[in-house]
Structure 1
Amino acid sequence: MRKILTAVVAVALGLGLAACGADGDRSAASGADATIDVGSLYEPQNLDNTGGGGQGVTEALNGNVYEGLFRLTDNGKVENLLASDYSVSGDGLTYTFKLRTGVTFHSGRALTAADAKYSLEKVIAPDSKSARKSSFGPISTIAAPDDSTLVVTLKSRSISFVYNLSYVWIVNPQNQSPTTTADGTGPYRLTKWQRGATLSLTRFDGYWGTKASNKEVVFHYFTDASALNNALLTNQIDLITSEQSPDALSQFTANSGYQVNDGASTTKLLLAFNDRVAPFNDVKVRKAVYSAIDRKKLLESIWGPHGKLIGSMVPPTDPWYEDLTSANPYDVDLAKRLLAEAGHAGGFAFTLDTPNYDPHPTVATFLKSELAKVGITVNINVISADEWYTKVFQKHDFAATLQEHVNDRDVVWYGNPDFYWGYDNPQVTQWVTQAEQAATADQQTALLKQVNQRIAQDAASVWLYLYPQIVVASTSVSGYPVNGLNSQFYVYGITKREG
């Protein structure tokens, strides 16, 4: 259950096999009739992005099967999609959206504003598990006065409102089984989901926009990075959406039959404290832990030359990024002094709840070794992803944990004292609120830079590193996204040449 996170990083030994062309088990078709075989470690938990479908459902269905009023492009821009136009009232509280005409669901029913209303209400419903649910807190009312008009009234300004709408899928209310079936408006329709193996998409001939460049896309799911890489090397798949085996990269970079793309990641690996409880309610203790960890050594041990150190929750692709890596430097002597000042000269012990999929156990062992140098004893408690969601995210029953956060623009969660890590700084909460209600992007950026600086000063969490985003593909395919912001992976532009 990968709700907020990216999952599975496995270190594997590749087999170094050269390859070109397709084997006998795959279609030899190319061009518009091609089948594109995509390899991934992220199978959906289910097919509902408000029902805990995880990052896998976003990767496979977002923008491919389901569409929003707006689309977040691979370079981070927001574009109109099912909304042909929109206007905002002078006070910034009322948004009026005009829907495109001639749009139908895959089942054949015409899209109406009532469907858009239903879809947005589904995201903010009490039982919704959408990661962006809280972002829509300013909504007051949603109305569909006619089939082509959606009107949303807010209680307060929300400068990110249109951006946040790019996360909302427009779904058919008549689909009674959204966790196992799909009925969207996108360039593909879901044709088959074989759990534990494949998910197949076929070009939707009734699509309102530009038709997909290929006839079919099949996502092949693997639980092991070594098997995934071997599938690419032996031509069972055409590309890997996100390479998670750094040791295997050399077999692709050294082979002219493959292209290794190092894109812009938004996935942060965190050592997240429960800032509500001792000793992590003390900023000096948090900063001591931060300075005791050689994060550069950790990143290089996992990813070699790939990835990036960051000093806050903000990746370089966010408008309010600043390099804050020096705010909490690696300095063992400083860590010891801070512990002494906090009354822990002899150190202390804590339990680190660690998800059971890689790289978490490896990272936990590294942290245990690093913190032992300053007298801190780490007891590693390995738990499943489901246990993490219940124990840590829902019940806040933990002292510290490891976790990835995949979304961009998610520094705002530090303005929510009820979020699982419990960071509670009234000034930060005020800045986050003011930033969302800002009249201009410049004002929003200035305020969120202040948030970045303060959470770094407070060592609200330890931001261990920013994952790389590495797409590895056969040179026979092109037109695939390379950045994968927020786990999305648009496949409709992928083409394949013969041979």
Structure 2
Amino acid sequence: MRLTRTRQMLTAALAVSALTLGACGAGGEDATVDSDSNGTETNNGEVSDASVSIGMFAVPANLDFTTTGGAAIFEALLYNVYEGLVRIDAEGEIQPLLAESWEISDDGLEYTFNLREGVTFHDGTTFDAEIVKFSLERLDEWSANTPEQLAAVESVEIVDDHEVTVVLSEPDYDALFWLAGPLGAMFSPESIDDLATDANGTGPFEFVTYENAVRMELSRYDDYWGDPAGVAEVELVYYQDASAAANAVRTGGVDAILRSEAYDQLESFEADDSIDVQVGTTQGVVVMAMNDEHEALADPEVRRAIQHAIDKESVLAAATGGYGEILGGPSVPTDPYFIDFSDTYEYDPATAEQMLASAGVEDISLSFNVPNRAYAEASAQVIQDNLAEIGIDVTLDTQEFPAVWVEETMVNQDYDLSVVNHVEPRNMANYANPEYYWGYDSAETQDLFTEAAAATDDQEYVAAMEEVTERIVNDSPGVWLYNPPNVVLSTAGISGLPINDLGVGIDLSDVTVSQ
């Protein structure tokens, strides 16, 4: 069975639940949960001394996601070591976490959270309202992972030790959504100086050690406030090569692989009774950004011509063996405002050449910064060949990911073209930020994002976001290539692995090992 068929069914289910996400607690309603529950599926009391090793691909440069870009850090630590007031569950819905319930004022400017009692950080620090105030007001000091998404947070008012009110300067329909991700993580003030080398949270696992680009070790936190983790130890093993990771799960080197990219081996895995293959959704958008600091790329007509020049079917075949879903816009099928733009810029080199001639440009030479990930290198090779067909000379510059790519491309914005998989949820919001690395600066688009944020119901929000999406696609600051699936491989006896990749923390607390 092709992964795309499984993906279509999962996409439909998740899209429905995503529509309800924004309404959680809106209009002054309360969202509550039993105080003995952490809002996730439990491991049915199966607590053992077992350990599990899991293969991963995106490598954390360090442990500080407040100053270091990329999702690799927070996907390993959020929900496992660090927690926030709320979380996103496996179905894409917002659930209570360190807050037992919340209420939103009718004007959308005040979010009042009732906090859990008896919660401690791994170093023994008590979690309370002062921690919430410290953590959220510290967002001004973040230099990575888009803290501007919570720029509307004006202050945090302490009601008592276990109740706080987050005050916004203007309504933000997605505020709860952003609080459920890395921006909502709670930090102990005593730990701030060591964020790059140590992780101290309130989650079900304690951080043990990290050997850069090799492995990270976590252990069960015995004094966790909620249901205990299903395994005593987790080892995250980092691979740059998809085949090496696939061989590791075959030979018992690891117990599971998340986001497997060994697409050429999936049929053999499905035929192997000792390996379980599961396919879920992702928030990933593989996009080729075009930096309009380059004279030619500053012209939208040139960018649209490049759109027509790229054969996305060939890109998908080279990068994933054809698994995944071709995109034509910056959102994914699980976004409530998704529109299918895959036919908007059809592959048509002749049209692309005519558009370039009409724009009066010729002899274009572009540098292409490519992270050293298999999908990116394969995609870039196809794109280089495609652009050569319409007279655009492209020089590939392969960069170590994340260390070099994040610094040179994302931070310094020193590139003409670049391609990467943005795995964070609703990353389309970054087109409202002219300082983001793709440099898209449209006052009209920013106004539409503001209009969407001020929405008071799902219908109004979705309508505004659809208009935003249409404008971005017309302006073409990037080429949105495809939405990859989440392929999970595991050996017999491993259960509870997260199958849908929501682009936030990869929750491992429900993983169990049959003995």
Whether the TM-score (by the shorter chain) exceeds 0.5 is: yes
Note the 1:186-201 alignment, pairs <5 A: 186-201=203-218
Equivalent of residue 110 in structure 1, options 115, 126, 132: 126
Q: Deviations over 1:135-173 (max 9, x none)?
A: 111121223342212222111101111111112211211
User: 1:432 & 1:471 partners in 2: Cα distance?
Assistant: 35
Match of 1:435 in 2: 452
SS class of match (2:234) = strand
Match of 1:24 in 2: none
Note the 1:140-219 alignment, pairs <5 A: 140-167=154-181, 168-175=184-191, 176-219=193-236
Give 1:383's aligned amino acid. Q
Q: Deviations over 1:296-326 (max 9, x none)?
A: 1110122123111011110111111111111
Match of 2:395 in 1: 379
Checking the alignment, whether the CA contact within 8 Å between 1:44 and 1:53 is kept in structure 2 is no
SS class of match (1:336) = helix
Q: Deviations over 1:85-109 (max 9, x none)?
A: 2222232212221111111112223
Checking the alignment, whether the CA contact within 8 Å between 2:274 and 2:491 is kept in structure 1 is yes
C-alpha distance 393-222 of structure 1, shift in aligned 2 (>3 A) = closer
Match of 1:452 in 2: 469
C-alpha distance 391-65 of structure 1, shift in aligned 2 (>3 A) = closer
User: 2:259 & 2:437 partners in 1: Cα distance?
Assistant: 27
User: 1:63 & 1:209 partners in 2: Cα distance?
Assistant: 12
SS class of match (2:249) = helix
Q: Quote the offset at 1:347 in angstroms.
A: 4.9
Q: Quote the offset at 1:53 in angstroms.
A: 6.7
SS class of match (1:272) = strand
Q: Structure 1 runs of 4+ off > 4 angstroms?
A: none
User: 1:59 & 1:289 partners in 2: Cα distance?
Assistant: 33
Give 2:356's aligned amino acid. L
Checking the alignment, whether the CA contact within 8 Å between 2:301 and 2:359 is kept in structure 1 is yes
Match of 1:409 in 2: 426
Q: Deviations over 1:44-91 (max 9, x none)?
A: 222222131743322321111111100111221110110112222232
Match of 1:396 in 2: 413
Q: Which moved more, 1:154-163 or 1:414-423?
A: 414-423
Match of 2:249 in 1: 232
Equivalent of residue 356 in structure 1, options 372, 396, 402: 372
User: 1:48 & 1:114 partners in 2: Cα distance?
Assistant: 21
Q: Which moved more, 1:382-391 or 1:320-329?
A: 382-391
Q: Which moved more, 1:51-60 or 1:316-325?
A: 51-60
C-alpha distance 69-452 of structure 1, shift in aligned 2 (>3 A) = same
SS class of match (1:33) = coil
Match of 1:65 in 2: 81
Match of 1:139 in 2: 153
Give 2:489's aligned amino acid. V
SS class of match (1:153) = strand
- Give the TM-score of the pair, scaled to structure 1: 0.89
User: 1:232 & 1:363 partners in 2: Cα distance?
Assistant: 26
Q: Deviations over 1:166-209 (max 9, x none)?
A: 12211211224222222211111123334443322222221111
Match of 1:17 in 2: none
Q: Which moved more, 1:216-225 or 1:322-331?
A: 216-225
Q: Which moved more, 1:194-203 or 1:297-306?
A: 194-203
C-alpha distance 465-138 of structure 1, shift in aligned 2 (>3 A) = same
Structure with more helix by fraction: 2
Match of 2:328 in 1: 311
SS class of match (2:480) = strand
SS class of match (1:129) = coil
Checking the alignment, whether the CA contact within 8 Å between 1:241 and 1:489 is kept in structure 2 is no
Match of 1:40 in 2: 56
Checking the alignment, whether the CA contact within 8 Å between 1:339 and 1:347 is kept in structure 2 is no
Checking the alignment, whether the CA contact within 8 Å between 1:158 and 1:436 is kept in structure 2 is yes
Checking the alignment, whether the CA contact within 8 Å between 2:318 and 2:382 is kept in structure 1 is no
SS class of match (2:325) = coil
SS class of match (1:486) = coil
Q: Quote the offset at 1:31 in angstroms.
A: 6.3
C-alpha distance 305-399 of structure 1, shift in aligned 2 (>3 A) = closer
Give 2:269's aligned amino acid. F
Checking the alignment, whether the CA contact within 8 Å between 1:328 and 1:459 is kept in structure 2 is no
Match of 1:426 in 2: 443
Q: Quote the offset at 1:487 in angstroms.
A: 5.0
Confirm or deny that 1:495 pairs with 2:500.
no
- Give the TM-score of the pair, scaled to structure 2: 0.86
Checking the alignment, whether the CA contact within 8 Å between 1:327 and 1:457 is kept in structure 2 is no
SS class of match (2:343) = helix
Q: Quote the offset at 1:133 in angstroms.
A: 0.1
Give 2:331's aligned amino acid. V
Give 1:402's aligned amino acid. V
Equivalent of residue 306 in structure 2, options 289, 293, 298: 289
Q: Deviations over 1:415-455 (max 9, x none)?
A: 22332222233221111111111112221111111111122
Give 2:291's aligned amino acid. N
Match of 2:16 in 1: none
Match of 2:95 in 1: 79
Q: Quote the offset at 1:281 in angstroms.
A: 1.8
Checking the alignment, whether the CA contact within 8 Å between 2:113 and 2:165 is kept in structure 1 is yes
Match of 2:286 in 1: 269
Checking the alignment, whether the CA contact within 8 Å between 1:132 and 1:164 is kept in structure 2 is no
User: 2:69 & 2:314 partners in 1: Cα distance?
Assistant: 34
Checking the alignment, whether the CA contact within 8 Å between 1:279 and 1:285 is kept in structure 2 is yes
- Give me the CA root mean square deviation: 2.0
Match of 2:344 in 1: 327
User: 1:273 & 1:478 partners in 2: Cα distance?
Assistant: 41
C-alpha distance 54-282 of structure 1, shift in aligned 2 (>3 A) = closer
C-alpha distance 223-325 of structure 1, shift in aligned 2 (>3 A) = closer
User: 2:133 & 2:461 partners in 1: Cα distance?
Assistant: 28
Equivalent of residue 71 in structure 2, options 55, 59, 73: 55
SS class of match (1:317) = coil
SS class of match (1:84) = strand
User: 1:431 & 1:138 partners in 2: Cα distance?
Assistant: 16
Checking the alignment, whether the CA contact within 8 Å between 2:55 and 2:256 is kept in structure 1 is yes
User: How many residues end up aligned between the 2 structures?
Assistant: 466
User: 2:391 & 2:123 partners in 1: Cα distance?
Assistant: 62
Match of 1:301 in 2: 318
User: 2:254 & 2:408 partners in 1: Cα distance?
Assistant: 37
